[in-house]
Structure 1
Amino acid sequence: MTSYDLLIVGAGALGTFHALQAAQAGLRVLLLEKDRYPIGATVRNFGQVVPSGLAGRWFDYGRRSLDIYRTIQQETDITVRANGTIYIASDPDEWTLANELHDRYQRLGYGSELLTKAQCLDKYPSLQPNYVVGGLFFPDELSVEPEQMIHRLIAYSQRKYGIDYRPGSVVIDCQPNSSGAVVTLSNREHFQAKRVLICGGHEVRLLFPDVLANAGLVVSKLQMLLAEPVAGLRLPGNILTGLSIRRYEAFQECPSYANLTAQYPEHLIELKKWGIHILFKQAVDGSIIVGDSHEYAEATQAEDLGYHTQDFINDLMLAEARRIVTFPLTIRKTWAGFYSQTKAEIFEHAIDPAIQLITGIGGKGMSSSAGYAEQNIKQWFG
């Protein structure tokens, strides 16, 4: 039976960054993925690395993640683009929050710039002038191509650090033993490891379902759209809007946030009901990702959300998007993404000293997994 220092179940961003950090520390690592390639939340998102929207320790992990992404990109192309992030405020209340967050990040030494309406329209001429009050720009933040990044990161980890990656490996059992833990696949193959980390995303029924059923996990279903390229259009970086200011954790820590929630504008109430906040990210081929919405169900009842997209939610998003930008939005495809989250920021649970469950990272994975994984590997292995 082959033995490893660390065996990781799940090759999304969370699992793969743990594998990379462990391998960089000289450990022998096995990374298992139940599908032929990752198809979960890691590839069904905007590909925006935006620590600016995070709060608490997740901002710190996100800030460190920026450095990790840049370091890897210097060695191999994992699709990282350094075009920054902007939040477009659409009314005075949102602009107040943007100013307060700017002041906070100035004190923390995290680079940000307040842009006037004229500066926003100069930098992003495709914005509707009557939407824009001002902008908060983060020049150091990054974009990646979500359908490509994880594959390139895994390949880099294999090539440089010798990670043993085995897709199409369905783990059906994990049991502690005197040497750590033994993992069993559906084909009855066994692996021994000193430590096992399970990063199964919103899958809660294969391994330790009794623990996960009582973890307070909720699955969020997101609807997203891909618009056709527009000749001559350039949308640099990550473009977030007033609804993002009203939603993201970092703004919720600002002094004026309570006033914002008490005075929700009438035209945004239906959007709030479906968890909609409008973001734009242009892919390298010129197509534009637009979204997203949020519907919720208990993790053990995720099927209730369905795997279809609802046209009326897409229509709500498109109507608001057209209120924000001037270019035509011709939709090429739509899709639903799913991720698990918990009120406790993340679910971290030791089944045994050798077996750790980590899931429920919510929408923070792309922005903060790299820094979070680095901290965990240092803590576990020294």
Structure 2
Amino acid sequence: MNSTDPHHFDLAVVGSGILGLAHAYAAVKRGLRVAVFERTGTPLGASIRNFGMGLVTGQPPGIMLDLARESRELWLHLSTRANFSAREAGTLLFARTEAERDVLQEFMIVRARQYEYRASLLQGDKLNTLYNGRFSHHLAALHGTEDLQLYSREAMPALVAYLHSQGVHFRFNTLVHGVGDGHISSTAGEFRAERVIVCSGHDYQTLFADKLQAMNLKQCRLQMLRVKTEDALPLTHAVLTGLSCTHYGAFSDLPTARAVHAEIDQTAPLLNKHGIHLLVSPTPYQELIIGDSHYYGTDSPPFNSEEIDQLMIGLAEHTLATRVQVLERWQGVYGSKGPGPFSALPIDDKTTAVLMHTGIGMSVGLGLGERVMKALLAGDALPSGNAVVAPATALA
């Protein structure tokens, strides 16, 4: 191959979200000549709209927990080289009710011990002295110490700039409308590559529509806000509540989680109706990103519900014990409802599609890109998201 041919590469990546950049990084550090194609002028999809949480504690045992831990190390490595913020204070998951506290206790007794989650349960004095007693109205807090906070709207462009400095060729404002057997057809012309990896996010129409439609994939649309607090709150941890115990796989299959489901249905059915659970992620600028809701469909309607925003604001104000002022509102969007949390699909001998089916691409994407590239170069089986770990046993 002509190493200077502007239309021929070792690896072509379609999509500049975190999955696309993960594969580009895994390839360029192995000495491959890499090009990334993106239809917009900068990453604007799921990876730029999210909380920026590198969540390890919430991942279920098995491949997702492993990928989150591998991604954490890669984020820390890249943050020093690409000069973006990756804060290591971790997360605080607050139990507001006895049912939520029961889940946290079972998690610590059963799952944390068995799978070596790095977490501690704060109660009594340890809880009451946290942030000068601000959170003493809660019953307990799970402190997950492996979790990272990234500010996506800065981290993603910084990662693009770093990869460019390492030799990755970026073609923004370029729509790829055909891929097959190492040939790439785009609005910027024809290209060739020894391998092509397509990370097309929630776009199931432009490439490989027949194969993706058979998987009955959905989109998930979220409502999110950026706020500032009325009183000073120098929050350094990301914050969740026991509502997340029904959402994240590290907790949701524990026997005690059933009581939390029932409690939400009885006391706050609108939260279940709109798929709301609270996430609060501090930015480097003393602001907070809060959300989120979940709407699943084949498309993402553009109309936000004020009822949903007000429910999330109310949850945040109660959890943080302060009023907030909204600075910005937007919609997140990601691909969802797949056969597992992700798919790595061989399309032909030179083409692979890699898609996330959950909203945790920032948490696991870098590790997944590393594993996919390693498998492709070695001729090994691609990673699968269908690895199952037996559910936790009930507490006696």
8 A Cα contact 2:149 2:238, kept in partner: yes
Q: Tell me the equivalent position of 1:223.
A: 223
Q: Indicate whether 1:111 and 2:118 are aligned.
A: yes
User: How many residues were matched structurally?
Assistant: 370
> Structure 1 residues 121 and 46, CA, compared in 2 at 3 Å: closer, same or farther?
farther
| 2:337 pairs with 1:353 | no
Residue 203, structure 1, aligned to residue 203, structure 2? yes
How far 1:174 moved relative to its partner?
Answer: 1.1
In structure 2, do the counterparts of structure 1 residues 126 and 5 end up closer, same or farther at CA, with 3 Å as the change threshold? farther
Q: Is the 8 A contact 1:42 1:365 kept in 2?
A: yes
Cα offset, 1:219, TM superposition: 0.5
1:186, CA displacement in angstroms?
1.6
* CA shift for structure 1 position 127: 4.3
Greater mean alpha carbon deviation, residues 265-274 or residues 83-92: 265-274
**Equivalent position of 1:323 in the other structure:** 318
Post-superposition offset of 1:229: 5.0
Select which of 324, 334, 339 maps to 2:329: 334
CA distance in 1, matches of 2:321, 2:259: 30
Check conservation: 1:204, 1:212, Cα contact below 8 A. Answer: yes
CA shift, 1:244, in A, is: 1.0
Could you report, residue by residue, the CA deviation over 1:313-366 in whole angstroms, capped at 9, with x for unpaired residues?
A: 111112222222222211111111110012422233222121111223311100
Q: Residues of 2 paired with 1:195 and 1:165: CA distance? A: 16
Per-residue deviation, residues 163-204 of structure 1 (Å, max 9, x unmatched):
11111111111122xxxx1101124x1111111111111111
Q: Does residue 1:7 correspond to 2:16, yes or no? A: no
For 1:135, the aligned partner's letter is A
1:75 aligns with 81
- Tell me, in whole angstroms, the C-alpha distance in 2 between the residues paired with 1:320 and 1:266: 17
> By how many angstroms is 1:22 displaced?
0.9
Identify the residue that residue 233 of structure 2 maps to in structure 1.
233
| 2:44 matches 1:36 | no
Match for 1:287: what amino acid? E
Aligned counterpart for 1:137 among listed residues 127, 138, 143: 143
* Residue identity opposite 2:331 in structure 1: A
RMSD: 1.8
Match of 1:171?
Answer: 176
Contact 2:180 2:350 (8 Å CA) reproduced: no
Q: Distance in 2 between matches of 1:39 and 1:82?
A: 26
- TM-score, normalised on structure 2? 0.89
Q: Is the 8 A contact 2:94 2:240 kept in 1?
A: yes
2:30 to 25, 28, 31: 25
State the 1:117 CA deviation: 4.5
**What stretches of structure 1 of length at least 5 have no aligned partner?**
none
SS of residue paired to 2:373: helix
Could you give the per-residue CA deviations for residues 69-106 of structure 1, whole angstroms, max 9, x where no partner exists? 11122333222111111111111221121122223223
Q: Which residue of 1 aligns with 2:387?
A: none
Q: Of residues 31, 53, 57 in structure 2, which corresponds to 1:52?
A: 57
Q: Map 1:180-191 onto structure 2 (within 5 A).
A: 181-187=182-188, 189-191=189-191
Q: Cα–Cα, structure 1 residues 203 and 125, in superposed 2: closer, same or farther, change >3 Å?
A: farther
Offset of 1:265 from its aligned partner?
A: 5.2
Aligned residue for 2:269, secondary structure, equals helix
State the one-letter code of the partner of 2:162: Y
In 2, are the aligned partners of 1:97 and 1:256 still within 8 Å (CA)? yes
Q: Quick one: distance in 1 between partners of 2:334 and 2:328?
A: 20
Flag structure 2 segments of 5+ consecutive residues without an equivalent: 379-396
Does the 8 A contact of 2:53 with 2:148 survive in 1? yes
- 1:171–1:368: structure 2 CA closer, same or farther, 3 Å change rule? same
d(CA) in 1 for partners of 2:206 and 2:16?
16
Residue 381 (structure 1) aligned with residue 377 (structure 2):
yes
1:313 correspondence with 2:320: no
Decide which moves more: 39-48 or 325-334: 325-334
Pairwise CA distance, 1:20 = 0.2
- 2:201 is the counterpart of 1:214: no
The question of whether the paired residues in 2 share the 8 Å contact of 1:224 and 1:291 is answered with yes
Matches within 5 A, 1:84-99: 84-99=90-105
AA aligned opposite 2:115: L
Q: In 2 relative to 1, CA 32–126 (structure 1 residues): closer, same or farther, beyond 3 Å?
A: farther
Distance across 2 between alignment mates of 1:286 and 1:263: 33
What code does the residue aligned with 1:309 have?
A: N
> CA, structure 1 residues 261+343, in 2 after alignment: closer, same or farther (shift >3 Å)?
farther
Work out the CA distance in 1 between the residues paired with 2:366 and 2:97: 35
Separation (CA, whole Å) in 2 of partners of 1:248 and 1:370 = 19
What is the CA–CA distance in structure 1 between the aligned matches of 2:229 and 2:311, rounded to whole Å?
21
Q: Whole-Å Cα distance in 1 between the matches of residues 133 and 292 of structure 2?
A: 20
SS of 1:27's equivalent in the other structure is coil
Match of 1:154, SS state, is helix
Letter in 2 for 1:61: L
Tell me the TM-score normalized by structure 1: 0.92
Deviations 1:237-276 (Å, cap 9, x if unpaired)? 2111111122211102324233443444522221111000
